[in-house]
Structure 1
Amino acid sequence: MSNGTPENVVQAIYLRCQQGQILWERPRGGLRVNISPPKYFVALGQEDKPFRLCLESNAGTNFQVFLEQTDGVSESSSGNGERRKLLPFITPKKKKSSTCYRINSPSATIYVESQHGDQDLLTTSPPPSTTTTSGSKDPYQVKISYEIEELKIPQEGFSDDECRPCSDPEVLQLYCEADVVARGEILSVLPSTTRKGMDNLHIKSNLVVHQNHPVFQPLKSGNKNLQKFLLQDTPTFDQDSPKKVPKLAKSSYFGGIVSHPSKCAAQSGPGQFLWLIKLSFGRPKIGCVVYWDRWMQVAKQAEALDKANCRLVYQ
């Protein structure tokens, strides 16, 4: 979207995709974005159920971004009697680049307010087009990426669904949908240097079943190479334009780095796991992880009952 509306007008758009991006260049006034889960959530019985909305912003200066929720305590009330809560995502004093929210209503609403006046836009030359594509922050541009995730079914003993183990049906479903499937152990868990509240899990794998992006690469031998690998942050891939992943070279082990919420308190140590990894904003993130021995039992049972939706590797 680009400017072309009066300074005091609020434009409204409605989105119903599982993920997408809002790009507003040299704007005036405000923007109201209503985001709902995609239609196939209805077929899965997820309509009107809570969901997780993750936002990531690369906003320039003089923008404010708020998320509205119609549950709990709020600062003002809406006309239908519900209480409205405005959660600051980007403000002049509070800047966040990546945050996830639990949405307890059928949809979520984002408000974007430009504090640029008409005179600012008229007297300032637009930045070169290369500024937008390079990923640097343009002071006259706001870019918000979003992703919608299903919430896992609550399980006793786990108050946060992001940290609870996946059920057997969830593992089987994600095995066929994951961007990366591998077997391996955790070498180290270190706080991310670029994303607050996230850890980097460094994984040593002896089997990469498949990957849509080159998350796992041959792990070179030697302490120097290992230390270099352990200091790396979670990589970022172009999720919208996946490239053909080259066939992995022969190697005894492969190294991969994935992100995981720090609150889940992952620990390194011996033990072989099945890793099911999805890309979130271009970064590898754990979808499900289960002990390999347990995965062998689940896979064999699924094949015996003809419940496997794709070819399962468990040997």
Structure 2
Amino acid sequence: MLIPAPLLASLLPLLILCRETFSQYSSDQCSWKGSGLTHEGHTRDVEQVYLRCSQGSLEWLYPTGAIIVNLRPNTLSPAAARLSVCIKPTTDSSGTNVYLDRNGKLRLLLQEQEQAQGKVHCFGIQEGAIFIEAIPRTDISRRITAFQYELVSDRLGADANSVGAHCQPCSDAEILLAVCTSDFVARGKINKVVQEEEHSSITVEMSRLYRQKTQVFVSGGVRGRRWTGRIKMSVHCGVRSGEGEFLFTGTVRFGEAWMGCAPRYKDFLRLYQEAQQQGTNPCHVDTD
């Protein structure tokens, strides 16, 4: 059926509005890329950005004015209120200051010069939205603000400035649960420990890889039965290279492996077999 031209003309503004509304509030948007040039003449405008995924990225070219980034999980549950948000700026990110906005009150999170360090900064999801304000300049042609973000469990600690800032022994129950829920689980040994300014980095060789969320450990050796990689942890953990095998578990954040529970494999095996006899294991692990 053909729509008369006068009626089509009257509906056109409504159709454009619906298209723009859907684009702005799309619930499955993980990443956002925008330009300050689109509202350069209205530098007082504050654009709302909605990102509803567990991880993604933001890139704001030629920033002018300000944007508010609302990060939300893609599922609703009581546990969502206890999530932490971690952001990692790119080393060439510049042109803005980053704040937390809670009910109109701003708290500085990252100054422009701090973004170039590329460090991970975390905060509780209830602490507010991310308010990114452009620094007024006559020349904005080379300014780009960009960062990755991830929503993580509160176990990592929203008060930490970097992922893996804390180090504490795991209880028997935590070890068994870590095997079931960690981003990576592997059996292997420590070949080398490198002490860096804010964390330790250990080189590991795995004899068995049970699971990895992303490819942080690469295959090698005879018939691909060995895996190698690096795992980061706090310098306060005092890890050392030595004899014996460990069961490594942990999280993957921004493409890097961070240590969780790491008992000696013989201790884990004893613990697992005892729990198996009692029927209290949260999941099955092939220990043959």
Does 2:107 align with 1:85? yes
Residue 299 of structure 1 contacts residue 314 of structure 1 at CA under 8 Å; is this kept in 2? no
Q: Which runs of 5+ in 1 are unaligned?
A: 71-77, 125-138, 155-159, 220-247
Kept after mapping to 2: 8 A contact 1:180/1:213 = no
What SS class does the counterpart of residue 270 from structure 2 fall into? helix
- Write 1 or 2 for the structure with the bigger share of helix: 2
Call closer, same or farther: CA 1:69–1:166 in 2, change over 3 Å. farther
Larger of the two Rg values belongs to structure: 2
User: 2:53 aligns to what?
Assistant: 17
Q: Tell me the residue number matched to 2:65.
A: 29
Q: Which residue of 1 aligns with 2:215?
A: 213
The aligned residue for residue 239 of structure 2 is 266
| Residues 116-150 of structure 1 deviation map (CA, whole Å, 9 limit, x = unaligned) | 65x746xx5xxxxxxxxxxxxxx343221112322
After superposition, the CA RMSD in angstroms is 3.5
Between the aligned partners of 1:48 and 1:256, the Cα distance in structure 2 is 34
Q: CA deviation at 1:190?
A: 0.8
Asked whether 1:145 is paired with 2:181, we answer no
Deviations 1:250-286 (A, max 9, x none): 55x5432112222333222233210114321012222
CA distance in 2, matches of 1:63, 1:167: 46
- Contact 1:217 1:256 (C-alpha < 8 Å) held by counterparts: no
User: What is the aligned residue count?
Assistant: 245
TM-score calculated relative to the size of structure 1: 0.63
* Cα distance in 2 for residues equivalent to 1:199 and 1:33: 33
Counterparts of 2:249 and 2:129, CA distance in 1: 31
Give per-residue Cα distances to partners, 1:156-206, cap 9 Å, x unaligned: xxxx983113334433333234343211222222135xxx51221111333
Please say if residues 251 and 260 of structure 2, whose CA atoms lie closer than 8 Å, have aligned partners that are also in contact.
Answer: yes
Could you tell me which amino acid in structure 2 is paired with residue 85 of structure 1?
Answer: R
Q: Match for 1:151: what amino acid?
A: D
Q: Which runs of 5+ in 2 are unaligned?
A: 1-32, 158-163
CA contact (8 A) 1:184 1:204 kept: yes
Q: Report how far residue 47 of structure 1 moved.
A: 4.9
- Aligned mates of 1:111, 1:59 — CA distance in 2: 19
Structure 2 counterparts to residues 1-315 of structure 1, below 5 A: 1-3=33-35, 4-5=38-39, 6-36=42-72, 39=75, 42=78, 46-49=79-82, 51-58=83-90, 60=92, 62-68=94-100, 85-87=107-109, 89-92=110-113, 95-103=116-124, 106-115=126-135, 120=139, 139-152=142-155, 162-192=166-196, 197-211=198-212, 212-213=214-215, 215-218=217-220, 249-250=223-224, 254-308=227-281, 310-315=283-288
* Aligned residue identity for 1:149: V
Identity %: 21
Matched residue type, 2:56: G
The higher relative CO (CA closer than 8 Å, separation ≥ 6) is in: 1
Deviation at 1:34, TM superposition (A): 3.2
